[in-house]
A and B are shown apart, each in its own frame.
Chain A
Amino acid sequence: MVRKPAPYLYILPALALFVGIILLPAAGTFVLSFFNWSGIGRDIEFVGLENYRAAFRDGSYFVLSLRNNIVYLVATFIVEMCFGLAMALVLDFKLRFFGVFRMLFFSPMVLSMMPVGLLWRFVYSPEIGILNGALKAIGLGSLARPWLGDPATALYAVCLTSGWRYAGFYMILFYAGLQRIPKQLYESARIDGASDLGCFRHVSLPLLREVFVICVLLCATGAFQAFDLIYAMTGGKPYHSTEVVATWLVEVAFAHNRFGHGSALAVMMTVIVFVIALTYHFYARRRETIEY
């Protein structure tokens, strides 16, 4: 440890950027959420909590978009967990070529949500979509529909795409979790007469708990900030059935020029993400002492 030439110089560039581009604007958003401002000129008016109240009134899609965020969270979580865990368990048998498959399943993670979303618009397309084509081919043609154009299915269609992109990532997390479980535990379970399913139920699952919690955290904080995929696939349409807080915020602020109201939405969204992340933080700290 050294004391001499001003250590602050080393953190100064980072600090300047962090304060100037994250902290000050964040404080600005907080202040702005109590004002009405169209974004241009000095015509700014203090309205107190009005921007927050407006979010819960008719004409605002905030409540609907929160609900959609929760649906998105649950649906993507189910797709990603089921697929991720199942594939991790299968690939854990480490047969030949399984390493290659593990790598391939991860590959959608490197793609931007933009091409992913646009590509899946083709998959769901009523004219050329392969999903409808596949349904017709297996005799379920009655289920065929414009998946992204139908308010009943659009959100789930987007969730499936999100699951497609992230499943490989969760597979890697579960796979890494499985590698950390000491092999002796399986051996002693076997000696005690446990079947494959018993081993999974009583050894793997309990010891994957940490991984589960991390996955829940990532899914939850990710879901409440989701923007890219929805923008690429539906833009919140049809009839706001895929509207989420992030898309609604952008529309309020940059299409309706209601900067104050948009700021209030941003503050509420940040509070939600913080609550989720801090809950995890305290949970993790409490469990830190437990080892296996």
Chain B
Amino acid sequence: MSTNWHIPPERRRLARPAQRPVLARNIFLYTIVIAVSALMFFPMVWTFYSSLKTNPEIYANAWALPELPRFDNFAEAWRVGHLGRYVWNSIVCTSTSVLAIVAVASLAAFAFSRLMFRGRDLLFAMFLLGLIIPVQIVLIPLYSAMAQAGLQNTRTSVILPYIAWGLPLSIYILRAFFLTLPSELEDAARIDGCSTFGVFSRILLPLVKPGLATVTIFSSLSIWNEVLLAFVFLKDDSVKTLPLGLYAFYSYHITDLSLLFAALTVVTVPMIALFLIFQRQLIEGLTVGSLKG
């Protein structure tokens, strides 16, 4: 940053002096970054070490570190809060929806990018409209339809809207990936006698794996974290997903702080750990996902 070799000598005087106080600047920058990190992460760190304390300890001094770390709190929160059940519900809802999204969206994206048919652009524009429709606009009719179909309080009642809501963005992303592939690939496969479905499943699909990964990550995370549909459709404790289960647990045990802190830790730490493992894909997936092109 401080080199100015490319500046003609007669103009160097005008440029910034070459020896800027780099060390002072760097110390200043590190101070800012560390201060902000401290502010940002203290709530999480605090939750984590509070989850190792007993209730009297928390009430006596919320800041203090645990005298004797109680790791039993996690097991107890898991058991008392039925967290296993909620996690299982979340796993079922997320994996089913994401599998369906990937399958349905890649078929449609293939058609929108590679096949010719009447009304193609209009249909695609319609799917794009889905990117900006708020969930609230379907909530009420969907609720009564689910009630009439006897699907109230079933995981199906949220899985179906999760799939539908995941489609527009996934189709959009996958279509962009399909469009980057040269059409010669397809022609060559056809000459060798490949069917349209063969071109899709055996030639093109393996080549859009990065797109499939982006779609999978983005959809998984948004479904895993979804609150509104789950809140309206899943009233029964046995079908609640993790966010809703956590809320119910919180409301029942409002004074049992060590248990609540432990539950929050159990829920958040694995997500942060997963993030640290898949950070690049996650940052990319979430950024692309929210930008919607």
Contact = CB atoms under 8 A, between A and B. Distances in A.
Given A2-B115, A32-B140, A112-B243, A10 B108 contact: yes
A105 B137 contact: no
Given A8-B117, A101-B33, A130 B137 contact: no
A39 interface: yes
Interface string A5-24: 10110110111011011111
B116 interface: yes
A138 interface: no
Contacts of B225: 111-114, 228
Contacts, number: 274
Interface stretch (B74-82, B203-211, B261-269): B261-269
B271 to A, nearest CB: 5
A193 B62 contact: no
Contacts of B238: none
A14 B171 CA distance: 9
Contact of A130 (B11, B63, B171): B63
B127 A18 contact: yes
Contact of A259 (B112, B144, B232): B144
Interface string B135-146: 111111111110
B287 to A, nearest CB: 6
Nearest to A252: B140
Nearest to B120: A7
B239 interface: no
A246 B105 contact: no
Contact of B115 (A7, A83, A98): A7
A118 B275 contact: no
A107 to B, nearest CB: 5
A63 interface: no
Interface string B203-229: 000000000000000000100110110
B37 interface: yes
A133 interface: yes
A122 B261 contact: yes
* Interface pairs A-B: 9 shortest CB-CB: A28-B141, A112-B225, A114-B243, A10-B111, A21-B164, A25-B138, A7-B115, A14-B108, A128-B62
Interface of A: 1-5, 7-8, 10-11, 13-15, 17-18, 20-26, 28-29, 32, 39, 83, 86-87, 90-91, 93, 95, 98, 101, 103-115, 118-120, 122-123, 127-130, 133, 164, 167-169, 172-173, 176, 187, 190-193, 195, 214, 218, 221, 224-225, 227-228, 231-232, 246, 249-250, 253-254, 259, 262-263, 265-267, 269-270, 273-274, 277
Interface of B: 1, 4, 6-7, 11, 14-16, 26, 29-30, 32-33, 36-37, 40-44, 46-47, 50, 58-59, 62-63, 103-105, 107-108, 110-112, 114-117, 120, 123, 126-127, 130, 132-145, 160-161, 163-165, 167-168, 171, 183, 190, 195-197, 200, 221, 224-225, 227-228, 231-232, 242-244, 246-247, 250, 257, 260-261, 264, 267-268, 271-272, 274-276, 279, 282-283, 286-287, 290-291
7 contacts: A10-B110, A21-B142, A107-B276, A109-B286, A190-B15, A228-B228, A263-B140
